[in-house]
Amino acid sequence: MSNPVELLYQEHQVIKKALSNVLGLKNMILENPENYKSELKNYIGFFRNYADKFHHQKEENILFPEMGKKKEHLGDGVIQEMLDNHSDFREMLADIESLNNAGEFDESFKKFEKYNHELLNHIAVEDDEVFQMALSILDSDDLDKIYYRFLDTDSNLGMDNKHAMEKMVN
């Protein structure tokens, strides 16, 4: 059996590493603000592409709807909360980007700390609740199909690009 949840779990590890890398840029705000600005810009690109395009898309377009088909009203609870979080994360990133572009580095960092905190909570809920629920309501045939759709999504978006982003973070 191929395990699509494991793929998402591994992406969470990459996203968590990227979050902690950005927290490590704090001293750069004073020491080398231009570097901070360009590093943060790179990571905003990472969160927009890797976390949102590659990762959230697989959850939103494939995993969550498939879970919803198996269990009525699932969409009203924790799944809706996850979708709302994804949309909040998009707004927060846009705010962080505007502040960074405007040279408001302390503010951009403060917003990033909030983004970090909320994204870590989100990942914990998915790892501990949502993914466990997926494994309990989907059978191995469903999981296989989801896994192959995940691989298609990744290859349509570009595996080379995905690997380059993973390398940048690690």
Binding positions for Fe ion, rule: CB under 5 A: 59, 126
Q: In the complex, what is the shortest distance from the CB of residue 92 to Fe ion, in angstroms, rounded to a whole number?
A: 14
Cβ nearer to Fe ion, comparing 36 with 46: 46
Q: In the complex, what is the shortest distance from the CB of residue 107 to Fe ion, in angstroms, rounded to a whole number?
A: 26
Cβ nearer to Fe ion, comparing 56 with 111: 56
What is each CA distance from 68 to 13, 55, 62, 87, in whole angstroms?
A: 25, 18, 10, 19
On whether the CB atoms of residues 115 and 92 are closer than 8 A, the answer is yes
Cβ nearer to Fe ion, comparing 59 with 154: 59
In angstroms, rounded to a whole number, what is the distance separating the alpha carbons of residues 165 and 18? Answer: 10
Q: In the complex, what is the shortest distance from the CB of residue 14 to Fe ion, in angstroms, rounded to a whole number?
A: 11
**What is the b/e burial string over 143-169, where b = at least 16 CB atoms within 10 angstroms of the residue's CB?**
beebbebbeebbeeeeeeebeebbeeb
Q: In the complex, what is the shortest distance from the CB of residue 165 to Fe ion, in angstroms, rounded to a whole number?
A: 15
Tell me how crowded residue 138 is: count the other CB atoms within 10 A of its CB: 21
Cβ nearer to Fe ion, comparing 42 with 121: 121
- Two tokens at 121? 């909570």
